[in-house]
Amino acid sequence: MNDSSLSLDTGQLNPEQINIMLKHLPVDVSFVDASDELCYYSDTPQRIFARAPAVIGRKVQNCHPPKSVHVVQKIIDAFRAGEKDSAEFWIEIKGRFIHIRYFAMRDKDGNYRGTLEVSQDVTEIRKLEGERRLLDWED
């Protein structure tokens, strides 16, 4: 790879490849650092919960509706204390079934480094039945 590539545990990617990969994941991703500041969110046309560039650098507590801030704080406190590593919720919004998961991000020594929020519209996934083992594209 070129000089701008980033060596990762299982390969190398350059910033453009990382950005493209994150923008094409079928989930919304937000990363909050160990200081509770929102550092990143994926920005896709299908994003479930709207975000604006102005939220970068804000405390995550200020990025949620007031009625849910205490829950966000409880999650982060449990992650920071090492009591929990994940939390998940599911809600229905406008006929869509949304699965929301929070994951504690820890370094190799187990130190809390932040929180990853992953939200996914699983409405169509919930309808799957049986198996599809072969590619089923129409020509």
Q: What is the CATH number of the domain that holds 98?
A: 3.30.450.20
pLDDT in tens, 48-57: 988 889 899 9
Question: Would you say residue 138 lies in a domain?
Answer: no
pLDDT in tens, 5-51: 999 999 999 999 999 999 999 999 999 999 999 999 999 888 898 88
CA-wise closest residue to 80 among 118, 41, 31, 35:
35
Residue 64: what pLDDT? 84
Range of the domain at 59: 14-125
Residue 50: what pLDDT? 83
Q: Calculate ∠ Cα 30-44-94, nearest 5°.
A: 90
Determine the average pLDDT of the residues in 91-120.
Answer: 97
Question: Would you say residue 135 lies in a domain?
Answer: no
Q: What is the pTM (predicted TM-score) of this model?
A: 0.88
Question: Would you say residue 94 lies in a domain?
Answer: yes
Share above pLDDT 70 across residues of the chain, in percent, rounded to a whole number: 97
Total number of domains constituting the chain: 1
Are the C-beta atoms of 1 and 14 separated by less than 8 Å? yes
Are the C-beta atoms of 55 and 38 separated by less than 8 Å? yes
The full 3-state SS of the chain, as one line of letters, equals: CCCCCEEECCEEECHHHHHHHHHHCCCEEEEEECCCEEEEECCCCCCCCCCCHHHCCCEHHHHCCHHHHHHHHHHHHHHHCCCCCEEEEEEEECCEEEEEEEEEEECCCCCEEEEEEEEEECCCHHHCCCCCCCCCCCC
Share above pLDDT 90 across residues of the chain, in percent, rounded to a whole number: 78
Question: Would you say residue 133 lies in a domain?
Answer: no
Question: Would you say residue 8 lies in a domain?
Answer: no
Is 70 exceeded by the pLDDT of residue 139? Answer: no
Question: Would you say residue 42 lies in a domain?
Answer: yes
